Structure 1
Amino acid sequence: MPRPPDPAPEDLRRDPLPLRGRTALVTGASRRAGIGYAVARRLAAYGAGVYLHHHVPHDAQMPWGADRPEDVVAGVRAARGDPGAPVADGPADLSDPAAPAALVARAAEALGGRIDILVANHALSGSDGTLDTVDAALLDAHWVVDTRSVLLLVQAYARLRAGLPPGGPGGRVVMMTSGQDLAGGMPGEIAYALQKGALASVTRSLATTLAEHAVTVNTVNPGPVDTGYLTGAGYDEVAARFPAGRWGMPDDPARLIAWLATDEAGWITGQVIDSEGGFRR
């Protein structure tokens, strides 16, 4: 096979809207302080149409609370690089085994019949424990939300992509993990760490499976991110463990995820990528 030609000079220049005309489903976008919201804003700023999934009852039960979905949507719309790109939203309880496929179908309908980018950002917060305190109910709760629903989302997305006409832009799947396999692990969150570890482990298998549909699959570990869940002395202790002296902000992993969605990252697949700012564990 002959060597491909070097890129033309115009192809080396960065497109300010590299996702114009593409569409994305971002799950777990109930709060403006969260990673899902930051990812959705970045994708919209790059020109993509975006569908935001939320499950307000989950965040409403947490200490940080939930935002109104209309406020989240307004923030994403304000960030659009392409004023004509659609921004839509809808709820789903992804612990329901039928919900992932239904969500993909609704999002595709709202975005013109296709989804190019799937960012599975949602997860179950709290309701966890150590090896001594965790039980079957906690393990099952995290399994159905943190892992099973993600795989069912990817399955529905893959089936959607398989039915699209050939020749369109390549697809992207980005899943989220939590550095549970790095130094120290997560001994206080056994159920969460187990299920997030499963996503990291299956990344390469999914990448191989979806390669025939021109879809890349990668998983991002955002490291400790300030989404409002920790304050006081504990917050300062974590900040001191970063070389920059600050926590990661939601837009830090969002920049990486948005880049992975562009054509520039088309050669990156099957990877678990740490975006931790040099965090010292």
Structure 2
Amino acid sequence: MRRHIIVTGAASGIGRQIALRFAGLGERLTLVDISAEALADVAAACTQAGSDDVGTITADLRLADGPQAMIDEAWGSDPVDVLVNSAGVYPATPFLDLNADTWDAVATLNTRAPVLATVALANRVIDAGRTANVVNISSGAALRARPGAAPYSTSKAALEMATRASALELGPLGIRVNAVAPGFVTVDSTANPVTEDYAAAVSGNPLGRRGEPDDIARAVLWLASDEAEWITGEVLRVDGGSSAGAMNLPLHWPAQGTDSPKGQHD
């Protein structure tokens, strides 16, 4: 049976590829972003990829009523089965330059918006006696802080806890909530640009390559599928193994012989 999928942040990067993957399954899509022009482009690409029912909603999810209005508009055309909260921002702001506005701008879109969208969807689903899946897009930054990313890292750590908290309360009501946490993924984004020096510094992992948007999209599709029907409240780290440990450190003693220093610990 064809499902109705909402993808926020669908105009570019990971969100766009998630939308294209769902389109390839022939799903009905509602694509959400702040840029109407970019949405029109991805909607056309989704039609070409295999979906014959693609709608768009131009919305600013930072507004207090933005997530509720998005759900109401999408549900008005057809009940929603899957919500993918992919919209987010990743500014670089030195810690000593932070103020209320810069902090709130990140937290509002990266944490509050997906939470409120999940609340809005859950109420609709429960009233209709249906089930649904929510997949949030987190980040490896939820576990590891880095210079200039205090608001971002905090927003994603909060999103992971919100994923667990909502899964706990909504699971008995037939709604699964999970998250995918990408490692460094190569995207062409004007909203969240990074330098090549930065990319090289953060992209080391045991599998030896940078992530691609499709690595994340395939994980999202799996979590939203019946194959993951007994999984909720989980964060799936799709990062080439980078969260397993540090790749860029040398051995802390010379690799000569078999003896190692005793009594020294990290």
- TM (normalized to structure 2)? 0.83
**Aligned residue identity for 2:187:** T
In the comparison of the two structures, how many residue pairs are matched? 240
Residue 195 of structure 1: aligned partner:
155
Residue in structure 2 matching 1:101, options 44, 65, 68: 68
Which secondary structure state, in structure 1, belongs to the residue aligned with residue 216 of structure 2?
Answer: helix
Task: Identify the residue that residue 21 of structure 1 maps to in structure 2.
Answer: 2
After TM superposition, give the deviation of residue 238 of structure 1 in Å.
4.5
Paired position in structure 2 for 1:123: 88
Which region of structure 1 is more displaced relative to structure 2, 218-227 or 229-238?
229-238
**C-alpha distance in 2, partners of 1:100/1:205?**
19
Pairwise CA distance, 1:149: 1.3
* Aligned: 1:79 with 2:70: no
The structure 2 residue matched to 1:185, chosen from 145, 150, 172, is 145
> Which residue of the partner structure matches residue 60 of structure 1?
none
In the TM superposition, 1:186-265 aligns within 5 A as: 186-228=146-188, 229-230=193-194, 232-239=196-203, 241-265=204-228
Equivalent AA in structure 1 for residue 87 of structure 2: H
Report the alpha carbon displacement of residue 185 of structure 1 after superposing the two structures with TM.
2.1
TM-score (norm 1): 0.79
Amino acid at match of 1:87: V
Q: Which amino acid aligns with 1:71?
A: D
TM-superposition CA deviations, 1:161-217 (whole Å, max 9, x none):
012145xxx4110112112343x4233211111111111112221001111321111
Task: Point out where structure 1 has 5 or more consecutive residues left out of the alignment.
Answer: 1-19, 58-66
Residue 141 of structure 1: CA displacement?
1.3
Secondary structure at the aligned position of 2:43 is classed as helix
Paired AA for residue 23 in structure 1: H
Q: What is the aligned-residue RMSD (CA, Å)?
A: 2.0
- Offset at 1:233? 4.5
Change (3 A) 1:130 1:278: same
Q: Is the 8 A contact 2:179 2:234 kept in 1?
A: yes
Given that 2:209 and 2:240 are in contact with CA atoms closer than 8 Å, whether structure 1 keeps it comes out as no
Q: Secondary structure at the match of 1:202?
A: helix
Segments of 5+ residues of structure 2 without an aligned counterpart are 247-266
Contact 1:179–1:185, Cα closer than 8 Å, also in 2: no
Contact 1:118 1:172 in 2 (8 A): yes
SS in 2 for 1:68: helix
- Displacement of 1:74: 0.9
Larger radius of gyration: 2
Q: Could you tell me which residue of structure 1 aligns to residue 259 of structure 2?
A: none
Work out whether 1:153 is the aligned partner of 2:117: yes
Q: In structure 2, give the amino acid aligned to 1:30.
A: A
Q: Which residue of 2 aligns with 1:138?
A: 102
| Matches of 1:98 and 1:22, distance apart in 2 | 25
| Secondary structure, aligned partner of 2:128 | coil
CA contact (8 A) 2:14 2:86 kept: yes
**What SS class does the counterpart of residue 94 from structure 1 fall into?**
coil
Higher helix share: 2
By how many angstroms is 1:121 displaced? 0.4
